[in-house]
Every structure is written in C-alpha cells, then in structure tokens.
C-alpha cells in the first residue's frame, strides 16, 4: 500500500492554513489509514481532525480545522492508495488485448475494481466482487455503479469472459439492486456470440431479473488490426441494423413494464447501419453518453444552443469532489480546452465573428462522425472543412475521434496546407498527450485544442483566430 501524496494545495484553504504543502505524504487521518480517495474524502469531511504526514522522511502531525461544508483544499495523486483490483477475465473482445506494444504503461492496466466504477464510471464484471465489497458499497452509499453484463445466460457469459465465475457473478448485481444501489449496465455485442437470440434472451432476463437497472447500453465490438482472436470481427451493416431493431422493439416492452426505455443502442450502431439517430428526447437522461449512447444528439443540441441542454456530464461521483484526482480519459485535457467549455452560447445564436475574420478553418475528427460534423460546421462556417482522419494506427473498424493518435493526425496535417486554423477535439488527449505518446507540440501544424462539446466547437468556429 502506497501513501497518498499531496500534489496541490489551494491558497487560503484549511489545508493551506494547517501548513500542508505539495509533496507531503499522508500516513493517517484521525488515526485511520485511508485505502482510497473515497475513505480519504469521508475522513476529510470533518470540522476538525488530525493528519499524520511524512515530509522529507520526517513524521509530522498537523491539525485541520474547517467550517462546515468548506472544502479541505488539497488534491492527492491517485484514486487508490492500495492495489488496484485488476481484471482476471480473459475476454476475447477486450480492447486492451488489442493494443500494440510501446504505448504508455498505464494503458495496459485492466481493472475490475468497483471503486473505480463508482469514482470514474469504469465498468466492472463483478467477478472479483465479494461480501465485504457489498457491505462497503451499501454502508458508504457508493452509487451509481457501472456493470458489464454482456449476456445473462450463465454459459455464454462465462465463455465470453473466459472465467467460470462469469456464470455466477451477476448474483452480485441482484444484491446491489436489492440494497438500493443504482446500476447502469453494458452489453458489448459480439457478432455470432451474444447477438441475435442471445441478445433477445438477455433483454428478457433483464426485464425479469434486474428491472431496477437504470440503463443498459449496447455497444459494438471494436476490432483493431492488432486483434488476434479469429472469432472476433466487426459488425456488418445488416448486423448493426438487427441490433438496433432488437433494442427498439424491447424499448417498447420496457417502457410498458418498468416505465422507461431501459436499453439503448450506441450511436456507432446507427452510423454502421446507415440509419438516422433517434431524437435526443428518446435518450432520457443520456446517462451513458460516455459510452457513445446519445452523444451525437447531445453534441448537436449543444452546438445549436438548445435551451436547457447541458453539456456532457463527467462520469463518477468524485469527478468534481475536492481531493479526487482525475483519471484516464477523464484527466484534464489542456488549459485551452477547459477555457473553451466556459464560453456561453446565446439561445438561437452564437458569438459573432469579428470583422475581417477570414482565416480558413479545418476541424479534425475521426471517420465515423465526419459526415454529421460536416453538416453542423457548414451551418455556421460554410468556408470551413472537416478533416476525417483514418485511424491507421489501430486499423480495423476503429474510427472514433477519441482513439485518434498523434501519428495519424500528424500524417493528416502534413498533407494539409499551412496558414489554417486547425481545431482538434480534446477527447483524443490526456494532459496534452495522445495515446501513442506524441504531444500536441510535436504535430507538424499548430492546432487549437477545443473541448469535445458542441457549444465549444461553435464558439471556436465563430471566434477570432488565435
């Protein structure tokens, strides 16, 4: 177990008044050793407590005093202070198994930790879940959680996970729901494996066994050129259409039985099948937008400044709570991207372009959403272009903007003329670095990183050149 280290202290905060500084390591809080940022936050939510620190090899004790509701005012370096609970499944469809060598080490970590599910919205299969975990989830109110279902047939699920515990671990899903925990589910649909009648059976079992689920997202199998599983392949357009048909049929049944649509097909299925996406109103709370469900319609609504439509909400309870570090693809993108989010769009319009604005604009994106993005961009900047970047790094059917790499974007930019404004979505970055380790500064053309949000893109399109 490692000691959490302080990485930032807000001036004037209770932590600053107590003398804490970046680099301090937390040994204990009020005599207790926190295992993770969840326990850290609970211990920090007191008006007065003692922190034992290790500073330069010396043990130091400080007393914290804070007003009720006042944030402690410091950030620690990680979400988990003990070991992350890694995944012991061996799913043929796991995308991490399809990553090429040479990428950042953190990308190869496969977690199956319910705490990361709560903190950041990661999906867990529950195959490593146990009675003590259930007790903690219930006692500390760790809700919502995000669970990978894939199939409810025990034999199919065990086969997909390549783990015999996959046949029985959904008993924990029932236990969570019985204890009032909100749960969102996921089904990665693999052609010839858990689609067709297996998918229909999964929907029927969800209605019968798990009707309290908040939502269930059906997402397509991603197959890169590094895939070594011959049974794993991309959906055909007809297969994608069949998944949509099943989902939309069952939405009607769920609405009658439990009062809401429950199951949703991801945007990629509609794009693969060449079908129109449902209107935003059919996605409910758009709870699984980070899973690609309703994301396009939400982006579109924000782009046009529809009243009452908020931007994408970050997943996980602690994403905005004092002390919780960012993680993975939810880590801060860049300072410029964060500032773009704050730009307000007036209902029915946007910030007018300054007089004499003539710098041509190019919007970089993946191949999947390029056609939809072209229509949006043309509505406010007919002179702008959309650059659909093929994902040669991963290959296969990988075509979403979030998996674009610096290598492929650099290739596209090198073939594009200088003197343009190139707008890059921040979703393909983590702290300014692409998945392949290339930084924004290494690209052959200057780019403007824009938050992956419709309002931010519209503002950038109509704003002054930087």
Closest CA to 333 of 425, 404, 429: 429
**Distance between CA atoms of 130 and 176, rounded to whole angstroms?**
11
Q: What is the CATH number of the domain that holds 426?
A: 3.40.50
Tell me the residue range of the domain where 14 lies: 6-76
pLDDT for position 430: 84
User: Would 330 be classed as within a structural domain?
Assistant: no
- Relative to beta strand 6-9, strand 74-76 is antiparallel
pLDDT for position 309: 64
Q: Which two tokens stand for residue 126?
A: 């529950």
Q: What is the CATH number of the domain that holds 180?
A: 3.20.20
Categorise residue 430: left if φ over 0, alpha if ψ from -120 to 50, beta otherwise: beta
Is the domain of 156 the same as that of 261?
A: yes
Q: What percent of the chain has pLDDT over 70?
A: 88
Is the domain of 260 the same as that of 341?
A: no
User: Would 328 be classed as within a structural domain?
Assistant: no
User: Would 319 be classed as within a structural domain?
Assistant: yes
Residue 366 contacts residue 391 (beta carbons within 8 Å)? yes
Q: What is the CATH number of the domain that holds 21?
A: 2.30.42.10
Is the domain of 359 the same as that of 270?
A: no
Closest CA to 439 of 429, 454, 424, 451: 429
Is the domain of 345 the same as that of 259?
A: no
Q: Angle CA(71)–CA(77)–CA(83) in degrees, nearest 5?
A: 120
Residue 443 contacts residue 406 (beta carbons within 8 Å)? yes
Other residues' Cβ atoms within 10 Å of the Cβ of residue 347: 9
Is the domain of 188 the same as that of 294?
A: yes
User: Would 329 be classed as within a structural domain?
Assistant: no
User: Would 302 be classed as within a structural domain?
Assistant: yes
pTM score, whole prediction? 0.87
Residue 142 contacts residue 151 (beta carbons within 8 Å)? no
Is the domain of 295 the same as that of 377?
A: no
Is the domain of 309 the same as that of 186?
A: yes
Tell me which residue has tokens 């040994």.
27
Residue 334 contacts residue 54 (beta carbons within 8 Å)? no
pLDDT for position 358: 63
User: Would 392 be classed as within a structural domain?
Assistant: yes
**238-275: per-residue pLDDT in tens?**
999 999 999 999 999 999 999 999 999 999 999 999 99
pLDDT for position 45: 87
Q: Of 295, 323, 351, which one is at a domain's C-terminal end?
A: 323
3-state secondary structure of 183: strand
Spell out the residues 6+ positions from residue 378 whose beta carbon is closer than 8 angstroms to its own. Answer: 384
Is the domain of 60 the same as that of 102?
A: no
pLDDT, block means (10 residues), the chain with 466 residues: 89 94 94 92 90 93 90 89 90 90 80 92 95 96 96 98 97 98 97 97 98 98 92 96 98 97 97 95 93 94 78 47 47 42 30 54 94 93 95 94 95 94 92 90 95 93 66
Is the domain of 304 the same as that of 339?
A: no
3-state secondary structure 251-306: HHHHHHHHCCCCEEECHHHHHHHCCCCCCHHHHCCCCCHHHCCCHHHHHHHHHCCC
- Relative to beta strand 145-148, strand 183-189 is parallel
pLDDT for position 326: 52
Closest CA to 401 of 340, 319, 333, 460: 333
Spell out the residues 6+ positions from residue 172 whose beta carbon is closer than 8 angstroms to its own. Answer: 126, 129, 134
Is the domain of 65 the same as that of 116?
A: no
- Count of the separate structural domains present in the chain: 3
Q: Of 298, 323, 348, which one is at a domain's C-terminal end?
A: 323
Rounded to a whole number of angstroms, the distance between the first and last alpha carbons of the chain is 46
Is the domain of 157 the same as that of 53?
A: no
User: Would 28 be classed as within a structural domain?
Assistant: yes
Is the domain of 272 the same as that of 222?
A: yes
User: Would 81 be classed as within a structural domain?
Assistant: no
**Distance between CA atoms of 296 and 204, rounded to whole angstroms?**
28
pLDDT for position 335: 44
């Amino acid at each position: 177990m490692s000691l959490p280290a302080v990485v930032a202290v807000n001036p004037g905060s209770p932590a600053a008044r107590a003398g804490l500084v970046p680099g301090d390591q937390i040994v204990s809080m009020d005599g207790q050793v926190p295992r993770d940022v969840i326990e850290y936050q609970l211990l920090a939510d007191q008006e007065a407590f003692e922190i034992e620190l290790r500073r330069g090899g010396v043990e130091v004790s400080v007393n914290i005093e804070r007003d009720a509701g006042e944030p402690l005012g410091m950030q620690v370096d990680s979400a988990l202070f003990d070991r992350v609970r890694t995944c012991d499944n061996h799913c043929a469809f796991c995308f991490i198994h399809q990553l090429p060598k040479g990428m950042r080490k953190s990308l190869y970590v496969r977690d199956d930790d319910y705490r990361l599910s709560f903190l950041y919205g990661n999906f867990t299969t529950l195959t490593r879940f146990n009675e003590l975990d259930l007790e903690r989830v219930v006692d500390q109110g760790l809700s919502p959680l995000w669970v990978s279902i894939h199939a409810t047939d025990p034999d199919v699920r065990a086969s997909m996970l390549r783990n015999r515990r996959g046949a029985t671990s959904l008993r924990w899903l029932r236990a969570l729901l019985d204890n009032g925990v909100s749960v969102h589910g996921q089904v990665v649909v693999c052609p010839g494996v858990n689609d067709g009648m297996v998918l229909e059976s999964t929907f029927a079992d969800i209605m019968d066994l798990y009707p309290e689920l908040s939502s269930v997202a059906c997402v397509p199998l991603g197959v890169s050129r590094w895939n070594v599983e011959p049974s794993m392949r991309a959906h055909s357009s007809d297969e994608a259409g069949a998944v949509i048909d099943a989902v939309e049929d069952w939405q009607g049944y769920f609405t009658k039985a439990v009062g809401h649509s429950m199951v949703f097909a991801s945007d990629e299925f509609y794009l693969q099948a060449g079908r129109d996406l449902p209107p935003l109103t059919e996605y409910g709370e758009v709870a699984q937008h980070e899973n690609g469900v309703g994301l396009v319609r939400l982006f579109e609504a924000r782009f046009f400044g529809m009243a009452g439509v908020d931007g994408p909400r970050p997943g996980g309870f602690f994403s905005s709570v004092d002390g919780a570090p960012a993680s993975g693809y939810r880590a801060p993108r860049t300072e410029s991207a964060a500032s773009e989010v704050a730009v307000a769009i007036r209902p029915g319009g946007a910030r007018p372009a300054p007089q004499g604005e003539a710098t041509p604009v190019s919007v970089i994106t993946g191949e999947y959403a390029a056609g939809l993005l072209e229509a949006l961009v043309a509505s406010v900047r007919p002179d702008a272009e959309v650059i659909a970047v093929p994902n040669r790094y991963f290959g296969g059917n990988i075509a979403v903007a979030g998996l674009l790499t610096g290598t492929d974007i650099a290739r596209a930019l090198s073939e594009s003329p200088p003197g343009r404004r190139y707008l890059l979505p921040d979703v393909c970055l983590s702290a300014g670095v692409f998945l392949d380790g290339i930084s924004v500064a290494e690209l052959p053309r200057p780019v403007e990183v824009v938050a992956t949000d419709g309002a931010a893109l519209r503002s950038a399109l109509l704003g002054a050149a930087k």
